[in-house]
Amino acid sequence: DNVFELLTFAGRDAPAAKALMIPASVGGNSLMKQSHRDMFAYCNAVMEPWDGPAALCATDGRWVIAGLDRSGLRPLRYTVTDDNLLIVGSETGMVRVPESNVAKRGRLGPGDVIGVDLQEARLYGNEELLDLLASRQDFSSWVGGIQKIGCIVRSDVKEPVLYQGDELRRRQLAVGTTL
């Protein structure tokens, strides 16, 4: 709660805060759009992702979102009614809605998010919301310069010398180490 609040107070909207805190899994997902992969690579570089298990429902005043962590171990189902009511919970049927009033039912998968922009009065599905987030910045150029620590560690550095016995004690005394 506090991290989400901090991110929204810092200017991120609810969908962006969710993407930073609990991004979808990128590795091994060959079907994910490159723009989404780049955005999530940026998110992973900004802060360590939370793995969950977690189902998240949140609002920042403009957006209402619901999403799952990358493992998707918690169930999260939703119902949209003809009178524009979004009902989200771990089980269907938590709120009784006449079938004649149901416009859409669904469930979120691992890493998925849905959101309602209250100013536009519009429901965004997972793909639409990720497209919106990915189009906000040129994440591709940003993540192009990311270097992983393992790639920049020098391999020509000699192994440290481990002194023992009298030589170790002599060196310890030379630098003021006492036992």
* Global pTM value: 0.77
Q: Which residue has the tokens 């909207």?
A: 13
User: Domain for residue 175, yes or no?
Assistant: no
User: Domain for residue 159, yes or no?
Assistant: no
User: Domain for residue 138, yes or no?
Assistant: yes
CA distance 142 to 33: 17
Q: For residue 8, count other CB atoms closer than 10 A to its CB.
A: 19
User: Domain for residue 178, yes or no?
Assistant: no
Lowest average pLDDT, out of 66-75, 132-141, 153-162, goes to 153-162
| SS3 category, 113 | strand
The one-character DSSP state at 101 is: G
User: Domain for residue 92, yes or no?
Assistant: yes
| Burial classification of residue 40, based on how many CB atoms lie within 10 Å of its CB (0-12 exposed, 13-18 middle, 19 or more buried) | buried
User: Domain for residue 155, yes or no?
Assistant: no
| Residue range(s) defining the domain that contains residue 83 | 2-150
User: Domain for residue 15, yes or no?
Assistant: yes
Q: pLDDT digit string (tens) for 111-152?
A: 999 999 999 999 999 999 999 999 999 999 998 887 777 777
Report the number of distinct structural domains present in the chain. 1
User: Domain for residue 166, yes or no?
Assistant: no
Q: pLDDT digit string (tens) for 79-96?
A: 999 999 999 999 888 889
